[in-house]
Structure 1
């Protein structure tokens, strides 16, 4: 639940204002600067909003906004993961690991379909920000999820405007592979499936931890190390400071997410043990 009263309204107004400014900026670039390729950002927002409406109409019996939002987030994670894997695999076959991870490739060039994938994902974060604000699906005085989305929108949009570091950002999106299992767990719990001894739940937790390490923590650490190693190769500007700041934020979020996952895992195990104890008594 969101905060109550005037503070909640102040938070909503602030983030709604930033979202409107972002939308105005994108429309300005498309219409006045004729950046028609940025239409894929708008297309992404429309696609996920349409998906929200379809899920709400056909699949959510009680129209729970959190269930619908999580389902759309799951769709985004599936779609983005498949796109990123396709882009990386295609480039790996064509260029090889030494060529595709060269500094100039990551900063100055754009892999085929990378711009479109990043634009579409940028559109999702705009949609999700609006949906969370509209249905007040956030917590805290400074909602971390809203701040996270705002930072991503700024980083993604600036990269798309300047057409730089697109490939770096595509690499960061490999974390959506882990987000699949985060959203699956959330949907599973909202559906009332909480049997910690179930083979499906055990498999879900196993894949959750594996992808947390392989697709989120390790890649983000390696990207940060690569940025620091190639820091002298960046030209003067905002690219390097913004990239380092963004990766520092992501790594901190990963630490917090890992701690939350561990707590949730222990909580589910304790709940299962308590239920077994009560059943035996």
Structure 2
């Protein structure tokens, strides 16, 4: 895929997610989420991307699994298109966040998106580490459940219907989603990032210095943020509930 086709794919993806965001705006919003309608639209759009890119990453490795050094110069039209679509999404979401949220509230996500756009964009332009970029999209499998959890919170479906107390038991749907969220975080986010770090350290002699520096910076930032995310989710959904049960 040439540079023009790549730019068209990335731009078309960004515009498509913008259209999807507008479609979500036109649909009914749960009453509990109406005060946070932008967050509802943004999370719904992010869920669509996560489902698409996570399934796409699994498909890439099912159809043509690259291994070892092959990740360095692996190329297929499917993987290139998938990375282009994801790059377009992250550009859309970066702009959506920058225009609709204060920097103080969104700087972590903007930093994350900046690193992701830089790494995916480099892979698209150079065709170096394109397979490595596809591996990184396995993280989006966890993001599916992360976004579902957020939508449940926004729609007021965390607690049992009719419950008013702060310490009441979470609903069955929320508890299942919470455990799936933590489980997929451990496997597809932390596990994938650990594997990527291991691969990067074992391929240092085969990588140009600028690729190694970009990969190291990206993995360092995203891994740190993922550990912070794991702690926040664990505290919110497990430690807090355990403390509430002891008090009762």
Which TM-score band (shorter chain)? Answer: 0.7 to 0.9
- Work out whether residues 12 and 88 of structure 2, in 8 Å CA contact, stay in contact via their aligned partners in 1: yes
Kindly report which structure 2 residues correspond to 1:199-278, keeping only aligned pairs within 5 A, or say none: 199-234=172-207, 236-266=208-238, 269=241, 273=245, 277=248
- Helix, strand or coil at the partner of 1:139: helix
* Residues 125-171 of structure 1, C-alpha deviations (whole Å, 9 max, x = no match): 1100111122116535x811111111211221122111211110110
**Where does residue 49 of structure 2 map in the other structure?**
76
1:147 aligns with 2:119: no
**Where does residue 163 of structure 1 map in the other structure?**
127
- Work out whether residues 6 and 124 of structure 2, in 8 Å CA contact, stay in contact via their aligned partners in 1: no
Distance 1:43 1:137, change over 3 A: farther
Structure 1 Cα separation of the partners of residues 61 and 99 of structure 2: 35
* Residues 246-275 of structure 1, C-alpha deviations (whole Å, 9 max, x = no match): 11222111111111111111465168649x
* Residues 5-26 of structure 1, C-alpha deviations (whole Å, 9 max, x = no match): xxxxxxxxxxxxxxxxxxxxxx
Distance 1:268 1:189, change over 3 A: farther
Distance 1:200 1:168, change over 3 A: same
Runs of 5+ consecutive residues of structure 1 not aligned to the other structure: 1-29, 93-99
1:45 aligns with 2:20: no
**Where does residue 97 of structure 1 map in the other structure?**
none
Q: CA deviation at 1:203?
A: 1.3
Runs of 5+ consecutive residues of structure 2 not aligned to the other structure: 160-168
1:36 aligns with 2:8: no
Question: Over alpha carbons, which structure has the higher Rg?
Answer: 1
Q: Which moved more, 1:220-229 or 1:148-157?
A: 148-157
Kindly report which structure 2 residues correspond to 1:31-110, keeping only aligned pairs within 5 A, or say none: 35-60=4-29, 62=34, 64-92=37-65, 100-103=66-69, 105-110=70-75
What RMSD over aligned residues (CA atoms) do the two structures have, in Å?
Answer: 2.3
* Residues 96-123 of structure 1, C-alpha deviations (whole Å, 9 max, x = no match): xxxx2121x2111213401100000000
- Helix, strand or coil at the partner of 2:29: coil
- Helix, strand or coil at the partner of 2:225: helix
Normalized against structure 2, the TM-score is what?
A: 0.87
Q: Which moved more, 1:41-50 or 1:263-272?
A: 263-272
Runs of 4+ in 1 over 6 A off after TM superposition: none
Aligned length in residues: 235
